[in-house]
Structure 1
Amino acid sequence: MGIGLLTFIRHPVPQLIFAAFVVLSWPLSGLAGRDTRRRLAAAALVVSAGAIIALTATPSFADPATFAANPPHFLTLLDRPGLLARQLVAPPSDLEQVANIALYVPLGISGALLWRRWLPATAFGFLLVLAIETVQYVIPGRAGSITDIRNNTLGALLGAVLTAVLQRRR
């Protein structure tokens, strides 16, 4: 069954990773220039990415016996494109998949505010999730999935497009 979110975020490894991103967010935001709004958006993007990395690119601290319940990593299914395609087009099927969409919405919002366009924000979300899901191949207790890539990218897209629409209405 795994562990709950609260138990997971109480572990020091995700906390340290997230804290490092929070501490680095303002200095890294300087890359966005002197415009205060863009710097705030950049800092929010770094904090969002830090939260995502802390939650998804750290080992699962569940009982190792539960690791066997993980589905196969998407890299092991590359020789089965039909299966990957079916997984890619299947609608979100449970609360965890909806949560995976919601996890990337803030990243899409902050990316759209930073780059002032929805496409770079969505592309950043896609590249981040692709990197994380690929790296999960070697992280204990993790199994990268094509549905996570789809859902997380969809979340970044929703946040970015919502932001773009609201900015146009202004």
Structure 2
Amino acid sequence: MNGTAFDYTFKLNDFTSQTTYTAITSISGGGTITSGSFSYGGMFSPIGNFNKFIYVSFDNMYNGNDEDETEHFHETMTTLPTNYITFAQDDAFVKGVDIGYTISEGLTYTSMGGSQTGSTFTITSVAEGMDGPYPIKTVTGTFSCKLYNQDNAADVINVTNGTYKIVMTDNH
């Protein structure tokens, strides 16, 4: 980030790992948790500091109700987008990716806040599976982008040579 190395690697079953990982599912639109647009991703944060985190999200992947979302999870995630979206596109439920970085409560940067000309987002591998009765999808890749301060678009963090590995799951 801005030329400084940044590492939020989560190491499964490594009790010395200083990073936690959370699969994220969000629902927007529709006004209830029973209908809307579902987004999936992963969030990484330092141990014990949930006010500081970075996330990678595939937005607006499924439009429908909560009852059908699990059944359609793998089908919905067949073609993953690699385009960054804006706030307006997110509000219009356009499929795309969003990367965000929260430094502290009230100070958040996001790729949706401005131009991504010259930015990249690639997917290098995808694997489907199950976690008990719930479907999962593991996605790895690389990215470079600009993260804009949500309160001051002139304040930009340039991210280069980013890598990610996220395990996404359905809403349940």
So what's the TM-score if we normalise by structure 2? 0.26
Which of structures 1 and 2 has the larger relative contact order (alpha carbons within 8 angstroms, sep 6+)?
A: 1
Task: Answer 1 or 2: which has greater helix percent.
Answer: 1
Q: Which has the larger radius of gyration?
A: 1
